Amino acid sequence: MKRFFILFAALAFWALIPLQASQDDLRIVETWKTGEDGYHVLVMEVRGKANFRIERGSPEKDYTANHADTFGEDYLLFGYVIVHEEGKRRHDGFILIADRQGDILFEKVIDLGHDEEIVHVKKLEGILVLHIQQWQDGGNLHGGDHFLFYEEDRLQKTLEIPTEFKRVEKHREILYLSENIRGAFEYALNREGDILTPEEALRLEKGGEYETGTTFHFLREARYEGEKVIGPLHFDFPGHYTVTINGETHDFTIHPQIEGVEAHETLDGPFSIRVDAGQPFLNDTAYASGETIETPGYHLFEVKGLNGYRKKVPFTLTSGLTGVESHAVHEEPLILSFMGDGRLNGEEIESGFRLAENGNHILEIAGENGYLESHHFELHIESEQPGNGFMRLEMFLAGVTVIAVSFLFYRLYKKR
């Protein structure tokens, strides 16, 4: 019966509810090591595609996790460790990050001089940020909030703030900080460790112009499209927008990001335009981003957005003519390659036309919206030959024929 009771107790400890469950069946279990020097052990256990467990604990250190969850592609747990030294106890913060195979990627026990506990862990564009609260007088007196910035395993910066932040929320590239559980935020924090006021975090100017992908951070209350906003507003579509802050109207514009052409640019070969958002048109016809443009002419690329927004990019595409030089005399047959509709001396021709006729020539190439190129040049091959270029070959064959016939008559005459 005694053995059964011990086994039942062990199973009960192992079946404790996890602090925070996840799809990966991540569990944090507090149990006791058996044996003469029994002590508290914290176990991180993962079951599923990967099966492993990580244990932390010793007679001198009791680990407690107040958070456990997946962290991107990895696993994260953090909290505090009680250190027993010479009859005294202190609390240090601790964090552990493991990969999907259970290998430790990052582990720290942090002592800042008093009792510490890690309360938030965030990642800002590759920088790991630890939010640590420090307490004195047995946990009754707040001693300050600390933010530690790590790049990989290297501590880059430590920031101490006397305020006790009860909310730390990540919104894209910055953290929002608040002393209160609800409502507005007092400060923000970026990856460089700069404390930002609500005005510095917002960076929204009246009449400002920005690109798609811009995020505005409203630490204090604002109104957008009739709705109350506290937090980030991200804009991925071009247009004219309005936000009201403290009763003041802020109008601003979001532009699309366009690659491949600039306003009033001249290009001379097939190319494409890429646009990240909005409704694109080429010469008033719907255009698919990345579609090849190869018709010469005067073109207008336009992106339409919200609230009457229009971004216009006029440009010129030439025929890309090769094989001939304007206002020059050429002495060899020419291959004329071009885009568009070509006419040589008034006659329609296609790209790749071979010209071997001597004389003065005019090549005209037409494109969109009244576009017209005119190229004047002269072709002068040294021996005046017919335009087909076979004169020399014909003369050679005629000579061979004359010699053969003469030889034949000579043989017939000699036989007589």
- Rounded CA separation 125/72 (Å): 13
- Name the band, by pLDDT with cuts 50, 70 and 90, for residue 400: low
Check residues 403 and 46 and name the one with the higher pLDDT: 46
Sign of CA dihedral 339, 341, 347, 350: positive
Say if residue 353's pLDDT is above 60: yes
* pLDDT tens digits for range 239-273: 999 999 988 999 999 999 999 999 999 999 999 99
pLDDT of res. 229: 94
Say if residue 390's pLDDT is above 50: no
Structure tokens at 392: 């020399």
Check residues 237 and 2 and name the one with the higher pLDDT: 237
Check residues 59 and 416 and name the one with the higher pLDDT: 59
Residue type, 86: E
Return the closest-CA partner of residue 317 out of 280, 272, 362: 272
- Rounded CA separation 198/185 (Å): 8
The HSE-up count of residue 377 (CA atoms within 13 Å, CB side) is: 22
Q: For the range 267-275, what are the long-range contacts, defined as Cβ-Cβ under 8 Å and sequence gap of 24 or more?
A: 267/315, 267/316, 267/317, 267/318, 268/317, 268/318, 268/319, 268/320, 269/320, 270/294, 270/320, 270/339, 271/317, 273/301, 275/303
* pLDDT tens digits for range 140-152: 788 899 999 999 9
pLDDT of res. 395: 52
Contacts of 154 (CB under 8 A, 6+ apart): none
Say if residue 168's pLDDT is above 60: yes
Give the three-state DSSP class for 395.
helix
Q: Which residues of 42-61 are buried (b: 16+ CB within 10 A; e: fewer)?
A: bbbbbeeeeeeebebbeeeb
The 10 Å Cβ neighbour count of residue 415 is 6
Structure tokens at 156: 């880059």
Read out DSSP for 181-248? Answer: SSS--SEEEETT--EE-HHHHH---TTEEEETTEEEEEEEEEEETTEEEEEEEEE-S-EEEEEEETTE
High-pLDDT (> 70) share of the chain, %: 85
- Name the band, by pLDDT with cuts 50, 70 and 90, for residue 48: confident
Say if residue 20's pLDDT is above 70: no
Say if residue 44's pLDDT is above 70: yes
Structure tokens at 190: 């970026």
Pairing label, strands 372-379, 359-366? antiparallel
The HSE-up count of residue 89 (CA atoms within 13 Å, CB side) is: 11
**pTM for this prediction:** 0.72
- Say which range, 13-17, 184-188, 242-246, 326-330, has the weakest mean pLDDT: 13-17
Say if residue 415's pLDDT is above 80: no
Cβ pair 131, 147 in contact under 8 A: yes
- Name the band, by pLDDT with cuts 50, 70 and 90, for residue 407: low
- Rounded CA separation 324/344 (Å): 12
Pairing label, strands 248-255, 265-267? unpaired
